[in-house]
Structure 1
Amino acid sequence: MNNPIVPTIEHNGFGLVVSSEQIAEGAGVQHKNVLESISTHTAKLERFGQVAFETRAGYNNSQVRVALLNEPQSTLLMTFMRNTDQVAEFKANLVEAFFKMAQQLSSAPRPAELTRSDLARMVLESESEKLALSSKIEADAPKVNFWDTYCSDDDKLSFRSVASVLKVGEQDLRECLIFTEWIYSESRSRWSDSKQKKEYRNRYSEFSHKKPYFDRVQNADVPRFGGELMHTLKITIPGAEAIQRHVAKFVDEYGSLHKAIPFLETRYNDKKAS
């Protein structure tokens, strides 16, 4: 087979994963067909952990929902495909790519152990984001009381903190705000000499009509993002209150925010196409 496709294995918060886009390219099928197969076989795939998703920038500023599969999930998914020569070759390349990445990580120098001061700093940072405070709220108390009681007007909250209080998945929250055009995501890749592979980074930003709800915190001490300063998008207190009301509409309509995401994505893509 000429020019066999070697998949890029990513190392992120989900461990070692391969994207559904990589699988589609390697197998020679459309990405939407891979996502449909993942949806059809979700129960079988999730025997090996929850299937993770993220939104990446696509063609002409569109937003593409991408699945991130670990090694057993991606290997199992390949067994559901018709076994053409290309698919068989890609299966072998996929297994080899996971093996090589695992070897590379195991031979990398271990990071320094955390000191007591490091641990103290982490505790303070966690406390500042109000993650620990969410456990103090009564399960059926109005969530707006949380913002009133525990947050000051100039606080900036992380997506993880707000998602924790609202009892929704952080990725579901981000996708909800993307598909309803409160925020947008940009993706950039850069070559890592230390890891000898491309790394993908996402940067989230707010649309202008939602600016009071978010705050961009500049990160001058990390690599630049496409020639610009990297920033982390935080949520203001008015933003948290507005997001709470926004999310509640979809929970009431669909039963949960997670169940609402496919419908919001379809509506978003239809709007972009029209």
Structure 2
Amino acid sequence: MLNATVRAVATGLPAAIFNRRRMLLGLAAASTAAATASAAVGPTPTATENPELLRLAEEMPALVDRYHAAWKHQRDTKAKWSPLWPSAPDEITQPGSNRALSGWEETFEGAAHTRPNEEHPRQLIPSYSFRWGVLRAQRALKSKKLLKLGTLEGRTREQWEAAMSEDRRCLELAEAYEAETKRIRRASGYEASWKAHHAATDALADHVARIMAEPDHTMEGLIIKAEALEAWNSVERWQRAFKPASADWHGKIAASILRHSKSAA
């Protein structure tokens, strides 16, 4: 046990993890010895584990910690700031399902927000649309054609004035809403948190993939791969779904188990 602790400190691998692996190796060795004792005919050559696999195993705990810390930070950020996210005023939204027209009303995380009892997210009318409406009304009210004919584009002067007043009111609402959502996104740092979390997930997935790709020469290598798979299974299910290559890792573990079992037999 002392030698295991010394090696763990020297390599940077946490002693608890290394000692756990030693224990599992001891159990595997004992099981193999018991199963093959009657067939033993002489000394068995001692294989050495793949050095690259050992090196990757040493780096694994830091990547696991990084992932869980990043995921916790993103969850905490959402929990703190999401309740402060404002709903868009009804005056600057309209029912619809075509985001291409103007964009959807969004949640704090940037996903489309569907209101209760509504089938689709509402389309969010941006401030520039109302600003254009004000400018258009101003030009119409200065038009000589409106003065001469009393109407322009089917609207009287009074209707143009009413439209301009309404667009100005909605412009104020839209600008206030856009400023507040921009302030919350900037103050929360959610985008940076999201990027850090996804970078940590990608780094962990890539590292596990490298471990699975390395040949394992002994039971220690097999246990390293099993630990890596166990760590990957602690990642949120929906995040693992974005890494389809991970579906093959259970098969790689099974293949290693069978190979080592045949070798022991």
Between the two structures, name the one with larger relative contact order (CA 8 Å, sep ≥ 6). 2
TM-score by length of 1: 0.26
More helix by share: 2
Structure 2 length normalisation: TM-score?
0.26
